[in-house]
Amino acid sequence: MLPPAPVPDAVTAPGGFLLVLSIAVPVAGVLLAFVLGGRWVRFVAFTIIPTMLAIVAATVLVLPRSKGPLIYLLGAWTPPLGVALRADGLSAVMLAATAVVISAVSVFAMTEFRPTTAAPRAPFAFWILLLAIWGALNTIFVGGDLFTLYVALELLTFAAVPLVSLDGRPETLRAALRYLLFALLGSVLYLLGTALLYGRYGTLDIVLLSRRVSAEPGPLIAVALMTTGLLAKTALFPLHLWLPPAHAGAPAAASAILSGLVVKGSFFILLRLWFDVMPALPGFAASQLLAALGAAAILFGSVVALRQERLKLLIAYSTLAQIGYLFLIFPLALNASGQLDHGQALAGGLLQAISHATAKASMFLAVGSIYGALGHDRIIGLGGVARALPLSVLAFALGGIALMGVQPSGASLAKDLLLEQATSTGQWWWVIVLQAGGMFTAAYVVLVLAHALAPSDLPIALAGDAPRSRDLAALSLALCSLSLGVVPWEHYLPVPHGAALRSFGLDALFKFMLPAMGGTALAILFSPWPHRLAHSATWKTLTRGLGPLRRICLDFGGLVETGDDGLRQWTTTGIALLLVTLLLAAAMFTAN
């Protein structure tokens, strides 16, 4: 078989060198920090951060002025002999979101990871790993071939795993090891798929593959293997074995990066694979399967989150639920000819991803401030914390409100786009899932705020300092997520002009009241940790008619929690991994 011809329009575009800088600068920062040593690592990091912000800002400004995606040919060799870096609107959005989140997390981490002679290793490791994650993520966002994406994904994994165990506790070491082993298993599946594609077509360049791939057994099996491997790295239900202990056990700054950004890397590669490499191959059944797993993630993650005693575990399980939201875009993006379309569904998914990145990072940072000040994160012990730590609670509340989809948040615009697409394609069942997901999101936000706003029986004695910079970093991310809906996304994503502003008024009030009221009801029904005023006359009057229903919901929640414990065992997860691969392959063979 002859190798594919070079891409005729693959030439380095003006501004394409910015793509190289977006990768090379954080990598250079890592190397420089190793050379200078631990005393200078923070100085290096805070030199790299503004430089990277300028590079990303320039990329975002240059892209709309170019005639197409920004392209840079490494060594001036065109694919398939060379490697191309490419950045389109999806890349620009993710580059910008990553820069914003990492910058805010760095401000938060200034006080926690200050180089000291007593404990020099953790600060040195954190700043090195943060820059490495930034470089790996940027490589994923601008990589132009599947093998480059594989290398970047592995670098991301090996940089993210040590973040879990920075404190050196045995339980975090176990969580990190579990994360590493399961991520490597996903990498093996992805690499097997790329080997099949390369053996069939002689290239892994995304543009070349999109022109040559066809509905043959080899490519279909490759897609199933690669998809399952990426699902394992993204921690989509039921392949979430590693996520709760890893995200809940890591330091707050590390949890914000893991939850907000790291899981988005593998999800972005999945978008490239399905939407750009082979948009016609997956078919209706396979896309519905992914969305069904996403819906199950929303239900399981939300119900288990409502049953947690610790605040960080609650947010970790809410991340599992929010990941499920992202996979609803696949059936909604199918057009009449059965191809995945770069339309409103994809735009809604990307907006949901960056909204989740900013809001969830804000919530983890806020919880980190609360934990540092109180010395614990027990939900039932949060009484009076709103008065003692008002900015921390405000940041958590605004981040949660942004995730609920309140105007003018990015999640609200994303939800509108997905609802419109579900209605126009006649897939009413995903409308129910989208609305229920918003209510469940509101439920655990309401639950936490009910305890935080309640008065405390005893004066709160703060166990540590609460630096203002930490709260401001968390608050800035929450406000960013809350205002993403008014950004002119039409320059980068297929979002209708003025879509963010057309729902203000009574519609916006209804969109707030529906999840807020539904979430309050769900919090009462599913949470075994009710408000501290549970024995008051008001509470008894409110729940007088809900006693039997609440018992049913609590029993159901217990079953879900028990099922989650079983699913996060190695044997069960291995079986689930095999079943997902077989089901995906069968669905694709049926469609083709």
- How far apart (Å, rounded) are the C-alpha atoms in residues 79 and 86? 12
pLDDT of residue 37: 79
Alpha-carbon Rg for the chain, nearest whole angstrom, is 23
DSSP label at 535? Answer: T
Domain count, the chain: 1
**19 close to 87: Cβ distance less than 8 angstroms:** yes
> What is 393-423 written as a DSSP string?
HHHHHHHHHHHHT-TTSHHHHHHHHHHHHHH
Return the closest-CA partner of residue 208 out of 466, 511, 3.
3
The amino acid present at 370, given as its one-letter code, is I
**132 close to 26: Cβ distance less than 8 angstroms:** yes
User: Cα 523 to the chain's mean position, in Å?
Assistant: 24
Residue 364 placed within a domain: yes
- How far apart (Å, rounded) are the C-alpha atoms in residues 100 and 127? 16
User: Cα 431 to the chain's mean position, in Å?
Assistant: 21
Quickly list H helices, 165-275. Answer: 170-201, 206-212, 217-234, 243-249, 252-257, 263-271
| Interacting residues of 370 by C-beta distance below 8 A, sequence separation 6+ | 311, 377, 382, 385, 389, 392, 393, 396
- How far apart (Å, rounded) are the C-alpha atoms in residues 324 and 227? 15
Report CA-CA distances (Å) from 562 to 124, 175, 179, 236, 572.
Answer: 39, 19, 21, 18, 13
Burial class (CB in 10 A: 0-12, 13-18, 19+), 381: middle
| Interacting residues of 552 by C-beta distance below 8 A, sequence separation 6+ | none
List per-residue pLDDT tens for the chain, 592 residues long: 334 444 545 677 677 899 999 999 999 999 999 888 778 888 899 999 999 999 999 999 998 888 788 898 887 788 877 888 999 999 999 999 999 999 999 999 988 777 664 456 778 889 999 999 999 999 999 998 999 999 999 999 999 999 998 887 888 899 999 999 999 999 999 999 999 999 998 889 998 998 888 888 888 999 999 999 999 999 999 999 899 888 888 888 999 999 999 999 999 999 999 999 988 888 889 999 999 999 999 999 999 999 998 898 999 999 999 999 999 999 999 887 878 888 889 999 999 999 999 999 999 999 998 888 888 888 888 888 888 888 999 999 999 999 988 888 888 899 989 999 999 888 889 999 999 998 999 998 999 998 888 877 666 767 666 778 888 999 999 999 999 888 888 888 888 766 655 555 566 667 777 888 888 888 888 888 665 555 556 556 656 666 778 888 888 989 999 999 898 899 999 999 999 999 999 999 887 7
| Interacting residues of 41 by C-beta distance below 8 A, sequence separation 6+ | 33, 115, 123, 124, 127, 128
Q: Are strands 70-74 and 83-87 parallel, antiparallel or unpaired?
A: antiparallel
| Interacting residues of 293 by C-beta distance below 8 A, sequence separation 6+ | 231, 236, 237, 238, 324, 327, 580
Residue 387 placed within a domain: yes
The amino acid present at 331, given as its one-letter code, is P
Find tokens 């943060």 and name the residue: 130
Respond yes or no on whether the N-terminal peptide bond of residue 528 is cis (omega within 30° of 0): no
Neighbours of 136 (CB within 10 A): 25
> What is 68-88 written as a DSSP string?
S-EEEEETTPPTTTSEEEEE-
DSSP label at 309? Answer: S
**Structure-block tokens of residue 96:** 């910008």
pLDDT of residue 40: 86
pLDDT of residue 104: 95
SS3 content of the chain, % helix, strand, coil (to 5): 75, 5, 25
Structural domain including 389 reads 282-532
Residue 46 placed within a domain: no
pLDDT of residue 406: 83
- How far apart (Å, rounded) are the C-alpha atoms in residues 36 and 18? 26
- How far apart (Å, rounded) are the C-alpha atoms in residues 445 and 520? 9
**260 close to 357: Cβ distance less than 8 angstroms:** yes
**251 close to 119: Cβ distance less than 8 angstroms:** no
**Structure-block tokens of residue 541:** 């009057």
pTM of the predicted structure, to 2 decimals: 0.94
Residue 394 placed within a domain: yes
**322 close to 358: Cβ distance less than 8 angstroms:** no
∠ at Cα 84 (78, 87), nearest 5°? 140
Residue 493 placed within a domain: yes
**51 close to 38: Cβ distance less than 8 angstroms:** no
pLDDT of residue 533: 52
pLDDT of residue 534: 56
Residue 316 placed within a domain: yes
Residue 254 placed within a domain: no
* Side-chain half-sphere CA neighbours of 476 within 13 A: 15
pLDDT of residue 492: 87
CA-based torsion, 355, 356, 358, 362: positive or negative: positive
**Structure-block tokens of residue 552:** 């049913």
Residue 376 placed within a domain: yes
Q: What are phi and psi of 117, to 5 degrees?
A: -75, -25
**317 close to 255: Cβ distance less than 8 angstroms:** no
